[in-house]
Amino acid sequence: MAGRLAEQKKKGTVGEHFEKLREMAGRVFDLASASDLLSWDMQTYMPPGGADGRAFAMATLASLAHELFVRDDFGETLEAAESEVKDLDPDSDEAGIVARLRRDFDKTRRVPSDWVAVSLRTVGLAFNAWVAARQASDFAAFQPHMEKVLGVKRSYVSFFEPYDSPYDPLLDDYEPGLKLARVREIFGELREVQIPLVQAISERSDAVDDSFLRLPYDEQAQWDFGLDVIRDLGYDFERGRQDKAPHPFSTALNRGDVRITNRVSPNHFGSALFGSMHEAGHAIYSQGIAPALDRIPSLSGSTLEGAHDASLGVQESQSRMLENLVGRSRAFWTAYYPRLQAVFPEQLGDVEVDTFYRAINKVARSLIRVEADEATYNLHLLLRFEIEADLIEGNLAVADLPEAWNSKMEEYLGITPPDDRRGVLQDIHWSIGLFGYFPTYTIGNIISVQLWQKLNAELPDLEAQISRGNFTELVGWLHENVHRHGGKYEPMDLLKRITGEELNAKPYLEYLTGKYSEIYGLS
Amino acid sequence: MAGRLAEQKKKGTVGEHFEKLREMAGRVFDLASASDLLSWDMQTYMPPGGADGRAFAMATLASLAHELFVRDDFGETLEAAESEVKDLDPDSDEAGIVARLRRDFDKTRRVPSDWVAVSLRTVGLAFNAWVAARQASDFAAFQPHMEKVLGVKRSYVSFFEPYDSPYDPLLDDYEPGLKLARVREIFGELREVQIPLVQAISERSDAVDDSFLRLPYDEQAQWDFGLDVIRDLGYDFERGRQDKAPHPFSTALNRGDVRITNRVSPNHFGSALFGSMHEAGHAIYSQGIAPALDRIPSLSGSTLEGAHDASLGVQESQSRMLENLVGRSRAFWTAYYPRLQAVFPEQLGDVEVDTFYRAINKVARSLIRVEADEATYNLHLLLRFEIEADLIEGNLAVADLPEAWNSKMEEYLGITPPDDRRGVLQDIHWSIGLFGYFPTYTIGNIISVQLWQKLNAELPDLEAQISRGNFTELVGWLHENVHRHGGKYEPMDLLKRITGEELNAKPYLEYLTGKYSEIYGLS
């Protein structure tokens, strides 16, 4: 048997059922990938009149992907493929593909097609209501929709009984294996360190001046500088592109077509560049997944998606690493600051690199998550996590959401939103049913530093390389250890495989405390 | 019964089966519409690395659309809906939808899913081979693929026995109801007039000077001028957009999202503007289809498509009307020439409007169809039609194609291609399996003039309106008589309904002879 398998493997196939499974999964992937393009287009080039038709098309693709995936013959083929791979090395791509499809199949089978249709309709309406409510800064107009979305999520959770917390099945969709109890512990640790850290920084806010970042910066020059940087980082433009969109995001249609979007602020240097670096972190990950894993869909938040990665947290570890651990480091600017000064001599010609480094790391207690710096970012997520867990566990009524939001903003960041638009209505997530999603941003921050420690241990020359603008070994290491595996391993298994450790917030907190103590001269 | 139907109709529905049919058809439409976006993107923004994944995705969407459409329960629902509409006015949208779906369903049911898969694979490979062969100007490299495509088309034809000619089922896919015998007659009439006309013109080729059209013309200014013109014509940019692509085309994703593409030549005024006007003709048609016909797919050339129009010929009648009957007319330039001179004073400041009018209508015996003028265009199509009919009927071997092409070029246009790239390999059509498609361009020319006659009879002031840049009544008439009906009527029925006449080449030939006799001073 082992001999036959080895022979089949040599020929590039482990058996006919496995090949049939690949083909069936490939069709689901194709639908998900097409839907990804529809979504990308909706946010980049679609004319306003296309909205209704697009909603229909996306709903049809999503429900068809679901129908194809849960068919009995898919299950039968999966089972047959499992016997074909059972003697293979569990680390092989084939065994990994079958295991991953099994996990997603079993989860998806629990969800009735009816629920998928109702959910798509509910979030479609809720999203539209959210857009209008945010515009009008009127939470009350959104409240009934938010209640309906919550009802839909509660039904979803009920398909996964038993659980420790109803929040667990939601979390598991984005960060497989992680539980509410563990996330609470992690946020507890962060809270204990980050709230006093931000408080101490705010008392020394004069220590950092970033006014020169808020001069006029030519939009095209900013855009082009960012393109040069991410090309150097290893983003392959033969298999990707950057377009303008209101919000930066990354879309992996397939390994050969991984796009990013970005926006430019004409009066603020930084948001465009760091947006590009962040999204390039996601995109380089998706471009680096092994070809053997092509056309395998993956389940993310009850939706079958084209992207085949370990989890949102692992994704975010890659984007935050390039954005922050690289892009906001002294080493990086040792290489790039002279180039940047050459592009913007009027704005930066007289500014020292150290002054610039401190400016791009300035901490500000702001209202808006997506504009938050490294020190305050997790506090925005802490607030969202606590609120959504309370909502799902039934400890908070939707009507009380704005008050809960505002009082936590005051408690964690010392500021109160003047209106709902800049408060509880700022994020799209809940309107489109993304509960359990916010914590993955924080998990990503934590993983990024755990990986960074390991990287530096294995590549002691890394900082010097970065300060010469050389990212080859950095990205090579990420490809080898993270990217190529795609979604073959559970995220926490992948982390352990690479670092030998469990998820651990300490390295992250040490990094944060060290960096900001130095910048702000804290004791 | 009639009472119940009238009541249902008042409520906006004719019955539950009809509604179910709409929903089932809607899902097929959604797949086709998504596929249209994938195709648009492939030709506009897709990075090169995306080609493989895109081919998979498009094949999956096409085969799923086919599978959903031919399902037994689709047929059962269609039958039930037929009883619901049987007492309705046959001109009602509901009756039209059911009749159209019946026609397409019966045709599609004859085609096995296996054939669809084989066909998609064959043309996928043939297209790639054609791209390489054209680049290398090497027909021999393409020949085996061409033979395979032809084999696939022959199998397709066999599903539709009996027929008068094996070419008929292919033609019927694009121009329902039209037969080879009738097309032969039409091309015979054209041939008799157009070959001597072009010959006579070529003897007076010095009569028209268009050298000033080949000066440098700023690309952005050309682009913007075209946008202004098509906005005036009635193309709604809230429901559309124009992007750059190597070849101009129009894509109707749905009534709210109808896009066009175009290209600009920096050293030739005309191709960009007339490209925009041509594609706007298609797009205004699709934007004008009645909302009641939303989300109804239609069969075009064995593929289910989102666009819901009467036929390719009727489509082409709209684009050729705006491009030629409007855009290359004296009346149009009475309104627009002063504006154009203001944009390009250096190039056109000293050129009289009549000189300009003659220049944009200059006739040249050229090698390339897509660059052909009105007088020679049909001769390019005559050649293609005769060759493809011979191929399908078995009177010509693929190996003899280049020779047949070149000798017909010499016979009809008096020139011989120096290589296959500029000869038999110039068009994409055969590589992607489009046989029976070329004649629809000519049918479109003919219909455009039949409609134009009727238009002028009903709007005697039309020319004066156009010379004031006023297209409201023109486009209103087209909306009312052509656009809003979508694919509700068979193309020849629609033509008869509007003009009271059958397809008739005479008005077209009179128009052509009159126009060019005047320009070239022929007797």
The DSSP secondary structure of A107-137, one letter per residue, reads HHHTS-HHHHHHHHHHHHHHHHHHHHHHHHT
**Phi–psi pair at A279, nearest 5 degrees:** -70, -35
Helix (H, G, I), strand (E, B) or coil at B257: strand
Q: Are A304 and A31 in contact (CB under 8 A)?
A: yes
Selection from B63, B72, B69 nearest residue B27 by Cα: B69
- Quickly tell me which residue has 């486009």 as its tokens: B475
Crossing angle between the packed helical segments B139-158 and B167-174, to the nearest 10 degrees = 90
pLDDT per residue as tens digits for the range A66-98: 999 999 999 999 999 999 999 999 999 999 999
Selection from B56, B68, B53, B57 nearest residue B35 by Cα: B57
My answer on whether B107 and B190 are in the same domain is no
Q: Between chains, do A26 and B56 touch, taking CB under 8 Å as contact?
A: yes
Selection from A18, A174, A173 nearest residue A95 by Cα: A18
- Quickly tell me which residue has 């001028």 as its tokens: B225
Taking the C-alpha atoms of residue A317 and residue A440, their distance in angstroms, rounded to an integer, is 9
pLDDT per residue as tens digits for the range A448-481: 999 999 999 999 999 999 999 999 999 999 999 9
Selection from A198, A145, A132 nearest residue A383 by Cα: A198
Tell me the whole-structure pTM to 2 decimals.
0.94
Taking the C-alpha atoms of residue B34 and residue B24, their distance in angstroms, rounded to an integer, is 16
Supply the pLDDT for residue B299: 83
Which tokens go with A343?
């592009």
My answer on whether B213 and B261 are in the same domain is yes
Of A106, A130, A161, the position where a domain reaches its end is: A161
Q: Does B176 reach chain A within 8 Å, measured CB to CB?
A: no
Percent over 90 (pLDDT), chain B: 91
| Strand A298-300, strand A303-305: pairing | antiparallel
Q: Does residue B170 belong to any structural domain of this protein?
A: no
Q: Are B160 and B482 in contact (CB under 8 A)?
A: no
My answer on whether A216 and A142 are in the same domain is no
- Which amino acid is located at B484 in the chain? R
Q: Does residue A168 belong to any structural domain of this protein?
A: no
Crossing angle between the packed helical segments B439-458 and B312-320, to the nearest 10 degrees = 60
Q: Between chains, do B52 and A254 touch, taking CB under 8 Å as contact?
A: yes
Which tokens go with A441?
């941003």
Query: Alpha helices, DSSP H only, in B203-261?
Result: 219-233
Of A127, A161, A195, the position where a domain reaches its end is: A161
Supply the pLDDT for residue A303: 78
Q: Does A241 reach chain B within 8 Å, measured CB to CB?
A: yes
- Give me the CATH number covering residue A476: 1.10.1370.30
**Long-range CB pairs of B151-157, under 8 A, 24+ apart, other chains included:** B152/B115, B152/B118, B152/B119, B152/B122, B152/B123, B152/B433, B153/B392, B153/B433, B153/B435, B154/B392, B155/B115, B156/B111, B156/B115, B156/B119, B156/B302, B157/B392
Distance, CA of A222 to chain centre: 24
My answer on whether B144 and B201 are in the same domain is no
- Which amino acid is located at B3 in the chain? G
My answer on whether B230 and B83 are in the same domain is no
* CA of A28 vs chain B CAs: smallest distance (Å): 9
Supply the pLDDT for residue B13: 67
Supply the pLDDT for residue A300: 80
Taking the C-alpha atoms of residue A51 and residue A43, their distance in angstroms, rounded to an integer, is 11
Taking the C-alpha atoms of residue B441 and residue A134, their distance in angstroms, rounded to an integer, is 50
* CA of A46 vs chain B CAs: smallest distance (Å): 7
Q: Does B41 reach chain A within 8 Å, measured CB to CB?
A: yes
- Quickly tell me which residue has 């009350």 as its tokens: A140
My answer on whether A194 and A303 are in the same domain is yes
Taking the C-alpha atoms of residue B192 and residue B503, their distance in angstroms, rounded to an integer, is 18
Sign of the alpha-carbon dihedral angle for A21, A23, A25, A28: negative
Taking the C-alpha atoms of residue A258 and residue A262, their distance in angstroms, rounded to an integer, is 14
Selection from A204, A2, A157 nearest residue A85 by Cα: A2
Taking the C-alpha atoms of residue A381 and residue A441, their distance in angstroms, rounded to an integer, is 8
Hey, which residues does B254 pair with through a beta bridge?
Answer: B257
* CA of B41 vs chain A CAs: smallest distance (Å): 9
Q: Is A349 exposed, middle or buried (0-12, 13-18, 19+ CB in 10 A)?
A: exposed
My answer on whether A212 and A72 are in the same domain is no
Averaged over successive runs of 10 residues, the pLDDT of chain B (523 residues) comes to: 48 83 96 95 95 92 94 97 95 94 94 89 91 95 97 96 97 94 97 96 93 98 98 98 94 96 96 97 97 91 78 97 98 98 98 98 94 95 98 97 97 96 95 95 98 98 98 98 95 97 97 97 89
- Quickly tell me which residue has 């040792």 as its tokens: A334
Q: Are A456 and A331 in contact (CB under 8 A)?
A: no
pLDDT per residue as tens digits for the range A250-260: 999 999 999 99
Secondary structure of B32-89 in the HEC alphabet?
HHHHHHHHHHHHHCCCHHHHHHHHHHHHHHHHHHHHHHCCHHHHHHHHHHHHHHCCCC
My answer on whether B211 and B96 are in the same domain is no
* CA of A448 vs chain B CAs: smallest distance (Å): 29
Helix (H, G, I), strand (E, B) or coil at B438: coil
Q: Which residue numbers of A are catalytic?
A: 279
Range of the domain at A515: 180-520
My answer on whether A55 and A87 are in the same domain is yes
Interface predicted TM-score (ipTM): 0.93
* Residue A336 DSSP code: H
Q: Between chains, do A41 and B37 touch, taking CB under 8 Å as contact?
A: yes
Taking the C-alpha atoms of residue B181 and residue B166, their distance in angstroms, rounded to an integer, is 11
Supply the pLDDT for residue B161: 95
Of B116, B140, B164, the position where a domain reaches its end is: B164
Supply the pLDDT for residue B2: 46
My answer on whether B159 and B184 are in the same domain is no
Query: Alpha helices, DSSP H only, in A159-311?
Result: 167-174, 180-203, 219-233, 271-287
Count of C-beta atoms within a 10 Å radius of residue A216: 12
Cis peptide before A162 (omega within 30 of 0): yes
Distance, CA of A86 to chain centre: 33
Radius of gyration of chain A (CA): 23
Q: Between chains, do B26 and A236 touch, taking CB under 8 Å as contact?
A: no
Taking the C-alpha atoms of residue A300 and residue A360, their distance in angstroms, rounded to an integer, is 33
Taking the C-alpha atoms of residue B280 and residue B286, their distance in angstroms, rounded to an integer, is 10
- Residues on chain A touching B38 (C-beta within 8 angstroms): 34, 37
Distance, CA of B204 to chain centre: 32
**Phi–psi pair at A500, nearest 5 degrees:** 75, 5
Taking the C-alpha atoms of residue A142 and residue B214, their distance in angstroms, rounded to an integer, is 59
Q: Does residue B220 belong to any structural domain of this protein?
A: yes
To test the contact with chain A by mutation, choose from B237, B250, B253 the residue with the greatest count of A C-beta atoms within 10 A, namely B253
Q: Does residue A171 belong to any structural domain of this protein?
A: no
Q: Does B239 reach chain A within 8 Å, measured CB to CB?
A: yes
Q: Between chains, do A30 and B60 touch, taking CB under 8 Å as contact?
A: yes
Taking only residues 264 to 303 of chain B, the set having a beta carbon closer than 8 angstroms to any beta carbon of chain A reads 294-295
**Phi–psi pair at A298, nearest 5 degrees:** -145, 150
To test the contact with chain A by mutation, choose from B60, B259, B289 the residue with the greatest count of A C-beta atoms within 10 A, namely B60
| Strand B257-262, strand B242-244: pairing | parallel
Taking the C-alpha atoms of residue B207 and residue B210, their distance in angstroms, rounded to an integer, is 10
Q: Does A3 reach chain B within 8 Å, measured CB to CB?
A: no
pLDDT, tens digit only, all 523 positions of chain A: 444 445 545 555 689 999 999 999 999 999 999 999 999 999 999 999 999 999 999 999 999 999 999 999 999 999 999 999 999 999 999 999 999 999 999 999 999 988 988 998 899 889 989 999 999 999 999 999 999 999 999 999 999 999 999 999 999 999 999 999 999 999 999 999 999 999 999 999 899 999 999 999 999 999 999 999 999 999 999 999 999 998 899 999 999 999 999 999 999 999 999 999 999 999 999 999 999 999 999 888 777 777 679 999 999 999 999 999 999 999 999 999 999 999 999 999 999 999 999 999 999 999 999 889 999 999 999 999 999 999 999 999 999 999 999 999 999 999 999 999 999 999 999 999 999 999 999 999 999 999 999 999 999 999 999 999 999 999 999 999 999 999 999 999 999 999 999 999 999 999 999 999 999 999 7
* Residue A326 DSSP code: I
Buried b (16+ CB within 10 A) or exposed e, A81-92: bbebbeebeeeb
- Which amino acid is located at B151 in the chain? G
Which tokens go with B403?
């020779």
Q: Is B154 exposed, middle or buried (0-12, 13-18, 19+ CB in 10 A)?
A: middle
My answer on whether B268 and B137 are in the same domain is no
Selection from B32, B17, B31 nearest residue B78 by Cα: B17
Number of domains present in the structure of chain A: 2
My answer on whether B340 and B469 are in the same domain is yes
Taking the C-alpha atoms of residue B135 and residue B420, their distance in angstroms, rounded to an integer, is 10
Sign of the alpha-carbon dihedral angle for A347, A350, A354, A355: negative
| Strand B298-300, strand B303-305: pairing | antiparallel
